[in-house]
């Protein structure tokens, strides 16, 4: 469940990615760190013959993630019903800060009502 919460928390700050080997989840994370790990293959490719691609990728990705951890965010619509009073971060297990947010997605198809 924590892994699912972690991936959902990345949704508002970009996207997420998951690397699997069969039904086994090798690693998952923010799309930017996963992409960086692939793009920097030359930095960790010497480990592949010895440790395997999956383990080598995970180790390098984890190193990138620790060096620059993305923020975890959750947004709840007020119309969704119960909003939790507090949440624990799925990544570091610290208490998360709570904010109120205003959002406009500039929907061209919505009716404009002047105030």
Digit-coded pLDDT (tens) for 56-108:
999 999 999 888 877 778 777 777 778 888 888 877 888 988 887 777 767 66
Tens of pLDDT, residue by residue over 10-61, are 666 668 888 999 999 898 888 888 999 999 999 999 999 999 999 999 999 9
Cβ pair 37, 19 in contact under 8 A = no
Q: Inform me whether the pLDDT recorded for 7 exceeds 80.
A: no
Closest listed residue to residue 58, CA positions, set 83, 21, 89 = 21
Alpha-carbon distance of 101 to 94, in angstroms, equals: 21
pLDDT at 100 (0 to 100)? 76
Secondary structure (3-state) at 90: coil
Residue whose tokens read 């930095």: 43
pTM score > 0.75 for this model? no
């Amino acid at each position: 469940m924590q892994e699912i919460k972690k991936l959902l928390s990345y949704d508002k700050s970009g996207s997420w990615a998951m690397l699997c080997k069969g039904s086994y989840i090798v690693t998952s994370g923010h799309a930017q760190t996963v992409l960086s790990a692939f793009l920097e293959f030359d930095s960790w490719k010497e480990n592949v013959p010895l440790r395997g691609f999956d383990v080598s990728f995970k180790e390098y990705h984890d190193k990138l993630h620790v060096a620059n951890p993305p923020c975890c965010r959750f947004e709840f619509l007020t119309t969704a019903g119960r909003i939790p009073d507090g949440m624990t971060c799925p990544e570091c297990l610290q208490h998360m800060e709570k904010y109120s947010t205003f959002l406009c997605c500039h929907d061209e198809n919505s009716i404009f009502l002047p105030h």
